[in-house]
A and B are shown apart, each in its own frame.
Chain A
């Protein structure tokens, strides 16, 4: 790790500065969505479909309306009168706001009650009678694409089957050629199951529309407040200058708070019609059954390899379960996100990917759950395949990777699917992790244990992510280019305020982004206030998801700080009566080259910016930057997991977890490590226990925290963290982003470890989550 260049009291890049946001949060003074209590607030509750697929023949809301305290029952017909019964999704589909014709998944929004009290609103739901007519539910994408399957999207013009999209990339011909030259083809068919981000705070809104002025102040659990403002303007037809989105403290997002959900639209419409603020906060069950699921890809990967263990090519066929509406939150031109990164960390010339998505009677969503779009699925598939290939070829899984890695001198490296990786040293990363875990000794112990009938497994994953979307030539969401921004104002006393287009959900932006400014200008990080989340007071940006805050917003911050450094040098030259080009800036001190005793501080310069300027210069010390990244960034890591599997029960325990991450330059090592520990835990969760399933009638199993198992402190393994630091060559401070690396990389490491424990029996796949009964069944079947 590079040593920090600023002293601790300035707290620039590389210092583990304590978080500024903690002060309010540890004293219960955070301001989360449900804490917002405006005068005369009304409360909304949503009636949801108990059935997965049914026609609505009628809704009787008379009894609900008669309940004391109920102001309105909103139905799809009422929304339709305002042209708001349907809304566009982020993937170019339309989604029902409140159902008018039929319900297409369990938990779908059917009606909403607006009442003076949340208890009354919930009481009133019980009084609404809906006349449903059962239709056959379709619960798998395979069923959905069968001939004669019931048409889920019968309202959609031109839709004659349940196909949501098709997508293809790579070179089919070159890939076929590679496979023709292979000594063997290694195949893996596996399902990356449906999961849910389940941030501890659910989604919610307080819509406050002033019917006289037309001003709409919308408090919302939003990871992307600016994009949401524009989408609100487009969907609801509200003038954008009258919309102010305020995203307050957010209790975790992980992708769940990227889409616009029907509840937001209904609450806003209700506030507009009634003229009072309307609050809606999801219950946990509503959160899990209706908003923002992730994954659900059925993947078949084939790897063409030689007997020496060289990879020649990769072929992937996938089918994704989209639920009832295609509403993936992803860049518009990307039908299956950035799945291109499935070529992983390896140097081979040919790949081809063919993907289809199908509508089913399940909740829509398709969010990137703590990962860049579809990166976890891609990373998981290649890392599972490479391990299986090692078994088939008969070489060690670590050696298999070392033989196929992209070498450090090959960067920038263009992959077979056209991504250009920016930088990396994969062999050093893997070797460092192998040394730390004591790999050779472990392999020996594994062999000895096997002789005693004990099952030890060692799983490796060496992942490469593609984050920080993205360059404007390729990346947009609903036409909005995926740039991001920073505005920096230095006040006369030398203190500053930094305003961001991105928005924290716990990542610590208020600290780390101040550190970037501290690094460049030498203003102590503690003197820099970071403002974000309020669209009236921050410059435009596409928000925080896909690990894009540091790659895009962080870059904007460095660039705007450098703009102010340039102006500051001119002011310093004026104060020091020296030539502009002779001024040097280090840790907030401007000195004259060759005469270090002639100096002024950034605080002197800040005051002069408002009091004593060189002739012709404009007053003030502030600027704004919109950053259009030239490329994505490509963080990577080497993870090694050691497990012991109980052959009699299939229960597995993690014995070691060594995680080496290279996210380029680390702004705040403490925060980076915190992000990694959190991500590793979510990766462990998906590999071990966390999934959303449905029964054959389309009932969601996993609708609460008793059925949807997220790990507690008791199950969560302990982690040993390592780092290397290969900067991104195109990012202004060399940083790559880290919030999602561990969620992306670790599931394959955990699953590979369990497979490795039973691989000698011939087991090559156990689908996630790797539940004990599945492990037991795999052992039983193999032996």
Chain B
């Protein structure tokens, strides 16, 4: 079947099997491999992408369901003026180790900040509780997302 999905601002029209998962479509058809697969039960969140601005687990969305939507993957986080504040904060605050969960974590973080410009520690922990990390113990992930929020707030106050 024909699906038309805008991924990171580019339109991708493809003929896919109806059963194709969005994550496989992104990784194998479109060739963007920053979105990862860590489980098969929608538990780990490594496959998180933003669909029309909301985080979804792309292993549990069919490519067909994403037809007509705008999808943002980790490759689309960076803007014309450089890294997204979440990306910068993840490296500044040592929010990643192996890096496998990182794309999903950053996308959830970016989405949280867009909705809640001043998230508390618990706000962040709750927001990322659908995303597993086995390396960091989460402390620096939480810190990074809060750092990014503070920087975004600071730059919008300053402008």
Contacts of A24 in B (CB 8 A): 99
Query: Measured between C-beta atoms, what is the minimum distance from A773 to chain B in Å?
Result: 23
- List residues of B (67-81) whose CB comes within 8 Å of A's CBs: 73-75, 77-78
B98 at the interface (CB under 8 A from A): yes
Task: Please give me the residue from chain B that is nearest to A26 by CB atom.
Answer: B87
A506 to B100: give the CA distance in the assembly, Å: 9
A677 at the interface (CB under 8 A from B): yes
B146 at the interface (CB under 8 A from A): no
- The 0/1 profile, CB within 8 Å of B marked 1, for residues 187-205 of chain A is 0000000000111111000
Is the Cβ of B40 less than 8 Å from the Cβ of A284?
yes
Query: Measured between C-beta atoms, what is the minimum distance from A672 to chain B in Å?
Result: 10
Q: Which one of B32, B35, B43, B99 has the greatest number of beta carbons of chain A within 10 Å?
A: B99
Task: Please give me the residue from chain B that is nearest to A707 by CB atom.
Answer: B41
Q: Which one of A32, A199, A507, A713 has the greatest number of beta carbons of chain B within 10 Å?
A: A713
B13 at the interface (CB under 8 A from A): no
Is the Cβ of A705 less than 8 Å from the Cβ of B97?
no
Is the Cβ of B102 less than 8 Å from the Cβ of A18?
no
Known contacts A26-B87, A29-B34, A284-B41; is-contact A678 B135 (Cβ 8 Å):
yes
Contacts of B46 in A (CB 8 A): 200
- The 0/1 profile, CB within 8 Å of B marked 1, for residues 266-281 of chain A is 0000000000000000
A251 to B96: give the CA distance in the assembly, Å: 11
Is the Cβ of B133 less than 8 Å from the Cβ of A28?
no
B141 at the interface (CB under 8 A from A): yes
Is the Cβ of B100 less than 8 Å from the Cβ of A32?
yes
Task: Please give me the residue from chain B that is nearest to A717 by CB atom.
Answer: B137
A27 at the interface (CB under 8 A from B): yes
Is the Cβ of B100 less than 8 Å from the Cβ of A26?
no
- The 0/1 profile, CB within 8 Å of B marked 1, for residues 17-29 of chain A is 0110111111111
Is the Cβ of B135 less than 8 Å from the Cβ of A27?
no
Contacts of A619 in B (CB 8 A): none
Is the Cβ of A716 less than 8 Å from the Cβ of B17?
no
Q: Which of B40, B78, B90, B134 contacts A200 (CB 8 A)?
A: B134
A94 at the interface (CB under 8 A from B): no
A350 to B116: give the CA distance in the assembly, Å: 60
Decide if the interface of chain A is mainly helix, strand, loop or mixed: loop
Is the Cβ of B38 less than 8 Å from the Cβ of A201?
yes
Q: Which of A201, A285, A677 contacts B98 (CB 8 A)?
A: A201
Q: Which of B78, B131, B140 contacts A27 (CB 8 A)?
A: B78
Query: Measured between C-beta atoms, what is the minimum distance from B102 to chain A in Å?
Result: 6
Query: Measured between C-beta atoms, what is the minimum distance from B52 to chain A in Å?
Result: 20
Task: Please give me the residue from chain A that is nearest to B103 by CB atom.
Answer: A28
Contacts of A198 in B (CB 8 A): 134
Is the Cβ of B74 less than 8 Å from the Cβ of A28?
yes
- List residues of B (42-99) whose CB comes within 8 Å of A's CBs: 43-44, 46, 73-75, 77-78, 83, 87, 90-92, 94, 96-99
B33 at the interface (CB under 8 A from A): yes
Known contacts A32-B100, A249-B99, A251-B100; is-contact A27 B87 (Cβ 8 Å):
yes
Contacts of B99 in A (CB 8 A): 21-22, 24-26, 30, 249, 251, 506
A439 at the interface (CB under 8 A from B): no
- The 0/1 profile, CB within 8 Å of A marked 1, for residues 6-50 of chain B is 000000000001011000000110011111111111011010000
Q: Which of B87, B96, B106, B142 contacts A713 (CB 8 A)?
A: B142
A167 at the interface (CB under 8 A from B): no
Is the Cβ of B129 less than 8 Å from the Cβ of A713?
yes
- The 0/1 profile, CB within 8 Å of B marked 1, for residues 507-522 of chain A is 1100000000000000
Task: Please give me the residue from chain A that is nearest to B35 by CB atom.
Answer: A28
Contacts of B131 in A (CB 8 A): 712-713
Is the Cβ of A199 less than 8 Å from the Cβ of B134?
yes
Is the Cβ of B134 less than 8 Å from the Cβ of A252?
yes
A737 to B74: give the CA distance in the assembly, Å: 33
- The 0/1 profile, CB within 8 Å of A marked 1, for residues 117-150 of chain B is 0000000111011111111111111100000000
Is the Cβ of A713 less than 8 Å from the Cβ of B91?
no
Q: Which of B36, B78, B134 contacts A682 (CB 8 A)?
A: B134
A200 to B48: give the CA distance in the assembly, Å: 14
Is the Cβ of B73 less than 8 Å from the Cβ of A250?
no
Is the Cβ of A507 less than 8 Å from the Cβ of B43?
no
Is the Cβ of A285 less than 8 Å from the Cβ of B40?
yes
Is the Cβ of B96 less than 8 Å from the Cβ of A202?
no
B101 at the interface (CB under 8 A from A): yes
Is the Cβ of B97 less than 8 Å from the Cβ of A508?
yes
Is the Cβ of A718 less than 8 Å from the Cβ of B139?
yes
A464 at the interface (CB under 8 A from B): no
Known contacts A254-B134, A283-B40; is-contact A674 B34 (Cβ 8 Å):
no
A250 to B135: give the CA distance in the assembly, Å: 12
A704 at the interface (CB under 8 A from B): yes
Contacts of A25 in B (CB 8 A): 96, 99, 102
- List residues of A (637-696) whose CB comes within 8 Å of B's CBs: 670-671, 673-675, 677-682
Is the Cβ of A26 less than 8 Å from the Cβ of B83?
yes
A212 at the interface (CB under 8 A from B): no
Query: Measured between C-beta atoms, what is the minimum distance from A704 to chain B in Å?
Result: 5
Is the Cβ of B33 less than 8 Å from the Cβ of A35?
yes
A631 at the interface (CB under 8 A from B): no
Known contacts A200-B133, A201-B98, A674-B97; is-contact A27 B34 (Cβ 8 Å):
yes
Q: Which of A199, A508, A713 contacts B128 (CB 8 A)?
A: A713
Task: Please give me the residue from chain A that is nearest to B39 by CB atom.
Answer: A284
Is the Cβ of B138 less than 8 Å from the Cβ of A713?
yes
Is the Cβ of A705 less than 8 Å from the Cβ of B132?
yes
Contacts of A675 in B (CB 8 A): 97
Q: Which one of B19, B20, B83, B91 has the greatest number of beta carbons of chain A within 10 Å?
A: B91
Known contacts A27-B78, A670-B94; is-contact A677 B137 (Cβ 8 Å):
yes
Is the Cβ of B87 less than 8 Å from the Cβ of A251?
no
A34 at the interface (CB under 8 A from B): yes
Is the Cβ of B39 less than 8 Å from the Cβ of A704?
yes
Is the Cβ of A506 less than 8 Å from the Cβ of B91?
no
A678 to B96: give the CA distance in the assembly, Å: 11
Is the Cβ of A713 less than 8 Å from the Cβ of B124?
yes
Contacts of A28 in B (CB 8 A): 32-35, 73-75, 103
A422 to B65: give the CA distance in the assembly, Å: 61
A119 at the interface (CB under 8 A from B): yes
A67 to B141: give the CA distance in the assembly, Å: 46
A165 at the interface (CB under 8 A from B): no
A681 to B90: give the CA distance in the assembly, Å: 19
Contacts of A200 in B (CB 8 A): 36, 38, 44, 46, 98, 100-101, 132-135
Task: Please give me the residue from chain A that is nearest to B93 by CB atom.
Answer: A670
Contacts of B34 in A (CB 8 A): 27-30
- The 0/1 profile, CB within 8 Å of B marked 1, for residues 238-276 of chain A is 000000000001111010000000000000000000000
A37 to B28: give the CA distance in the assembly, Å: 9
Query: Measured between C-beta atoms, what is the minimum distance from A559 to chain B in Å?
Result: 27
A413 at the interface (CB under 8 A from B): no
**Known contacts A25-B99, A251-B99, A713-B125; can you find 12 more A-B pairs with CB under 8 A?**
A29-B34, A34-B36, A201-B100, A284-B40, A670-B94, A674-B135, A674-B140, A678-B135, A679-B137, A680-B137, A681-B138, A714-B126
5 closest A-B pairs by beta carbon, nearest first, are: A28-B34, A506-B98, A251-B100, A25-B99, A705-B43
Show 29 residue pairs from A and B whose CB-CB distance is below 8 angstroms, ordered by the A residue: A19-B94, A26-B90, A26-B91, A26-B106, A28-B35, A28-B73, A29-B75, A34-B33, A199-B134, A200-B132, A250-B98, A251-B36, A251-B38, A251-B98, A252-B135, A284-B39, A674-B135, A677-B136, A677-B138, A678-B97, A678-B136, A679-B137, A704-B40, A704-B43, A712-B138, A713-B133, A713-B138, A714-B126, A716-B138
